[in-house]
Amino acid sequence: MNSLTSQREFLYYEWLIFDNCNLRCSYCINKGEYSHKKKEDILYIEGKEIDVANKISELSSIAENIVINFTGGEPLLAKHFSEVLKILYDVDNLKLQMYTNFVHPEKLQGYIGKFNKIIVSLHVKYRDEKEIDRLIASINEFKTGNNLIISQLDYNLDKEDRQKLEKVSLKTGLPIDFQTFIPSWTEEGKIENSKEILDYSFKKSLSKRCSLGYFCFFLRPDGTFFYDLWCD
């Protein structure tokens, strides 16, 4: 596996490193599964993230290019996130991405240059003015090049929310990417707030194999993973 001809060209890890969140947004699509969870239901095992990071580093030679996308829940809640970054920082053929609410950006100190993209979810409705000011300061401290993107879900934004968004954009000098609202699924398989959804239908792919089976692996907070998945 040492020659370039025997390497995969690209390898992608979707790493759901922590399956809970420190914000409780009412519109959260991951409600009950990756956020708003009871303590006893959380899959995260403290220290397991270090084992996973070491294994990724060990296997890095099997691909020319590797991308890890940290998701959650809130990735920065993983207790040893800084240690994970320290392990991965020296892997030359690896780039990092992340979705975060940026409540704990101090865990990125010294490692921000390894990220080719960080999407900061603003969720301004769930932050008071003091928290907005802290968020602005953190964004200004850590933004470098074009690797930091600020994002807001476009859902039920009132006048106060829009004033907060304007403040964030003006104070950071960054444009805000607005994301389309996707409703949560209930246990009964129906869409919450379904009266707001018009003419939407979801069709199965009739067992079409997706790219997850070839170059993408889904890593869970307890260290288990999925591969060779089928589209649903």
pLDDT tens digits along 161-192: 999 999 999 999 999 999 888 765 554 545 55
- Whether 232 is in a domain gets the answer no
User: Which ranges in the chain belong to alpha helices (H)?
Assistant: 48-58, 81-89, 129-142, 159-172
* Helix, strand, or coil (residue 217): strand
* Phi/psi of residue 209, nearest 5 degrees: -75, 130
- For residue 216, name the pLDDT band (cuts at 50, 70, 90): confident
Q: What is the pLDDT of residue 51?
A: 96
- Report the relative pairing of strands 148-153 and 115-121 from DSSP bridges: parallel
97 domain residue, yes or no: yes
Q: For residues 79 and 46, is the Cβ–Cβ distance under 8 A?
A: yes
**Looking at the 3D structure of the chain, how many domains does it have?**
1
Domain containing residue 118: CATH number: 3.20.20.70
- How do the residues of the chain divide into helix, strand and coil, expressed in percent and rounded to 5? 35, 25, 45
- pLDDT per residue as tens digits for the range 42-78: 999 999 999 999 999 999 998 899 999 999 899 999 9
Whether 70 is in a domain gets the answer: yes
**Is the pLDDT higher at 98 or at 228?**
98
* Residue span of the structural domain in which 61 resides: 4-226
State both tokens at 121: 């979810």
| pLDDT value of residue 114 | 87
- Whether 231 maps to a domain, the answer reads no
The answer to whether the CB of 155 falls within 8 A of the CB of 183 is no
pTM: predicted TM-score of the whole model, two decimal places: 0.82
The residue among 149 and 144 whose pLDDT is bigger is 149
**Lowest model confidence (mean pLDDT) among 167-181, 194-208, 216-230:** 194-208
What is the mean predicted confidence (pLDDT) over 77-91? 95
With contact defined as beta carbons under 8 Å apart, do 27 and 231 qualify?
Answer: no
Given a contact cutoff of 8 angstroms between Cβ atoms, the answer to whether 50 and 81 are in contact is no
